C-alpha cells in the first residue's frame, strides 16, 4: 500500500511540475502570421533568461481580457512587428496577467498578486523594466503613437 501511495505522489508531482512549466510561457502569434513573441509568466525564469542573455526584463502587468488600456497596448504595440523585432533581441518579456474571464490556476493568481504587491502596482497596464536581478529600472504604461514610438520610449528609459 505504501509503494502505491508513493508512486501516486511521484506521478502527481511530475504532472504538477509539467503543468507549471507549460504555464511558464505564453506565445502570441499575429493572425495569419507565424511570427511569435514569447511572454514568460515566471519572474524567476525571466531573471534567469535575462542574466544569460544580458538583457533587461519588460514586465507587463495586465488585465488582458478586461482592461481597455491593456488591450489597446497589446493591440497597438506588443502585437506589431516593430515592437517584436526590437523585443526579440533587446528584452526578456514577462506577462503578469490578472484576467477576469480567462482561467488561471490558484497558484498563478497567488504569485501574480504577490508580484503586484512587491512592485507596488496599483493600476493597469503597468509596464516595468527590470534588471536581470529583478531591480526596477523604470516604470511606464500605455503610450500613444504606436510601436515605433513605444520602442523609442523604452530606449530612453533604459538609457537612464
Task: Match domain 24-159 to its CATH number in 1.10.3720.10, 3.40.30.10, 2.40.30.10, 3.30.70.100.
Answer: 3.40.30.10
Residues of the chain with pLDDT under 50: 2-23, 25, 27-34
Q: What angle do CA 57, 70, 20 make, to 5 degrees?
A: 55
Reported pTM:
0.80
Alpha-carbon span 100 to 102, nearest angstrom:
6
| Domain layout of the chain by residue ranges | 24-159
CA distance from start to end of the chain:
62
Q: β-strands 126-130, 136-140: how paired?
A: antiparallel
* 106-125 pLDDT, tens digit each: 999 999 999 999 999 999 99
What pLDDT, on a 0 to 100 scale, did the predictor assign at position 9? 37
Inter-residue contact 44 to 32 (CB < 8 Å):
no
Amino acid at each position: 500500500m505504501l509503494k502505491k501511495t508513493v508512486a501516486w505522489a511521484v506521478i502527481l508531482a511530475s504532472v504538477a511540475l509539467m503543468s507549471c512549466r507549460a504555464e511558464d510561457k505564453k506565445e502570441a502569434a499575429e493572425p495569419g502570421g507565424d511570427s511569435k513573441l514569447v511572454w514568460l509568466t515566471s519572474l524567476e525564469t525571466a531573471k534567469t533568461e535575462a542574466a544569460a542573455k544580458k538583457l533587461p526584463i519588460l514586465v507587463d502587468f495586465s488585465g488582458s481580457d478586461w482592461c481597455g488600456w491593456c488591450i489597446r497596448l497589446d493591440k497597438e504595440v506588443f502585437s506589431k512587428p516593430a515592437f517584436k523585432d526590437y523585443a526579440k533581441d533587446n528584452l526578456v518579456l514577462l506577462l503578469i496577467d490578472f484576467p477576469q474571464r480567462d482561467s488561471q490556476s490558484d497558484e498563478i493568481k497567488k504569485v501574480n498578486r504577490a508580484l503586484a504587491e512587491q512592485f507596488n502596482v496599483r493600476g493597469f497596464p503597468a509596464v516595468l523594466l527590470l534588471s536581470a536581478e529583478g531591480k526596477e529600472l523604470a516604470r511606464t504604461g500605455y503610450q500613444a503613437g504606436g510601436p515605433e514610438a513605444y520602442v523609442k520610449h523604452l530606449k530612453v528609459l533604459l538609457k537612464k
